[in-house]
């Protein structure tokens, strides 16, 4: 089994976004899930509130995380979580470091038709193009993950030089203040937090569009060892995630209420936001764009997305 020290050393070196090493699972214990209250990763909240976990026979404990990946990984490595969610940039980085993570269920798809991630600048900003970001600072929820690499990719693809841009890790709830105070020139932000910039900032671009029109941002994962030791639990979790995906797509008003509560925001703040589209399939073709972007900025060889997916 991989050691806790090695896991933390790798994560500290790469500053990866949420990466989770699940604790051992006892049959009569709750399945502990690390959840992130973004629209694209909100399915566990829906499954919990709508009784989908109970329906499939899972006793689940959810814990919300909005801190950086190293902090989350430390708590998980200490034995407090079984299943986590992470973006595929971080999962790809873990894979090339030989950490034994496997993806067991999909989160939402990003779609340029309803973008749920944006690059926001202050209302008074003179930034108009990718070139204008040279020498500027962008606030991100985590460095060296998709929150940083999507705007990097957009800047580089549109005539700027992302190597001349500083990326500053700031929690999503604190980013509007950072913009207003001039600590950051822009913010790379995901729903439901875009609405918090009203009166402070404006959307300059949807940087994720530069990656692909449609792709999968994140997935739910565990270690290969835990998944194989808990095949029935994995199957039940997958079933609950499938049901929550279909339910959320068809019940956006109710899911918005659940998301607002999880994110500690008022539902009225979120009524105009673009909603995530959830999928019930782990399609390697939808994952591959994220791996390719990660390979570009983390300088590792591209590999097929199929390698990340758990097969029983």
Which region holds residue 62: left if phi is over 0, alpha if psi is between -120 and 50, else beta? Answer: beta
Distance CA(97)–CA(82), nearest Å, equals 21
**φ/ψ (deg, to 5) at 204:** -90, -45
Cα Dmax for the chain = 58
pLDDT in tens, the chain (312 residues): 444 454 444 444 444 433 333 444 444 468 999 988 988 899 999 999 999 999 999 999 998 987 655 555 556 556 678 898 888 988 898 889 888 889 999 999 999 998 989 999 999 999 999 999 999 999 998 888 889 999 999 999 999 999 999 999 999 989 999 999 999 999 999 888 888 898 899 999 999 999 999 999 989 988 888 889 999 999 999 999 999 999 999 999 999 999 999 999 888 878 888 888 999 999 999 999 999 999 999 999 999 999 999 998
Task: Answer for the pair 205, 89: CB distance below 8 angstroms, yes or no.
Answer: no
Instruction: Specify the fold of 4-111+215-308.
Output: D-Maltodextrin-Binding Protein; domain 2 (3.40.190)
Phi-psi region of 109 (alpha: psi -120 to 50; beta: other; left: phi over 0): beta
Coil/strand/helix, residue 128:
coil
Say what the pLDDT of residue 15 is: 41
- Give the integer Cα–Cα distance in Å for 139 and 275: 22
Task: Report strand pairing: 117-122 vs 101-106.
Answer: unpaired
Tokens of 30: 């709750």
Question: In the CATH hierarchy, which top-level class contains the domain 117-210?
Answer: alpha beta
How confident is the model at residue 79, as a pLDDT? 65
Q: How many residues does the chain have?
A: 312
- Tell me, yes or no, if the two domains 4-111+215-308 and 117-210 fold the same way: yes
3-state class of 103 per DSSP?
Answer: strand
Surface-to-core class of residue 222, CB atoms within 10 Å of its CB (0-12 exposed, 13-18 middle, 19+ buried) = buried
> What is the spatial distance between Cα 159 and Cα 43, in angstroms, rounded to a whole number?
37
Could you state, in order of their start, the residue ranges of all structural domains in the chain? 4-111+215-308, 117-210
């Amino acid at each position: 089994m991989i050691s806790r020290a090695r896991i933390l050393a790798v994560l500290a070196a790469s500053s990866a976004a949420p990466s989770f090493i699940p604790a051992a699972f006892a049959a009569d214990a709750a399945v502990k899930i690390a959840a992130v209250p973004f629209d694209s990763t909100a399915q566990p909240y829906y499954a919990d509130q709508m009784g989908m976990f109970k329906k499939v026979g899972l006793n689940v404990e959810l814990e919300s995380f909005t801190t950086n990946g190293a902090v989350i990984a430390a708590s998980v490595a200490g034995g407090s979580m079984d299943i986590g969610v992470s973006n595929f940039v971080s999962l790809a980085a873990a894979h090339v470091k030989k950490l034994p993570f496997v993806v067991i269920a999909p989160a939402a798809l990003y779609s340029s038709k309803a973008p749920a991630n944006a690059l926001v600048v202050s209302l008074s900003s003179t930034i108009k193009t990718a070139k204008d970001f040279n020498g500027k600072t962008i606030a991100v929820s985590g460095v060296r993950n998709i929150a940083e690499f999507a705007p990097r990719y957009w800047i580089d693809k549109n005539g700027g030089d992302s190597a001349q841009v500083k990326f500053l890790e700031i929690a999503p709830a604190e980013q509007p203040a950072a913009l207003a105070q001039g600590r950051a020139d822009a913010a790379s932000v995901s729903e439901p937090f875009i609405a918090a910039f009203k009166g402070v900032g404006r959307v300059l671009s949807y940087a994720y569009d530069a990656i692909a029109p449609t792709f999968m941002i994140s997935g739910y994962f565990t270690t290969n060892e835990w998944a194989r030791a808990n095949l029935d639990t994995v199957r039940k979790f997958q079933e609950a995630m499938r049901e929550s995906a279909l339910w959320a797509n068809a019940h956006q008003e109710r899911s918005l209420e659940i998301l607002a509560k999880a994110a500690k925001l008022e539902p009225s703040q979120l009524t105009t936001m673009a909603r995530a589209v959830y999928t019930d399939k782990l399609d390697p073709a939808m994952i591959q764009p994220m791996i390719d972007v990660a390979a570009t900025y983390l300088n590792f060889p591209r590999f097929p997305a199929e390698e990340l997916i758990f097969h029983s």
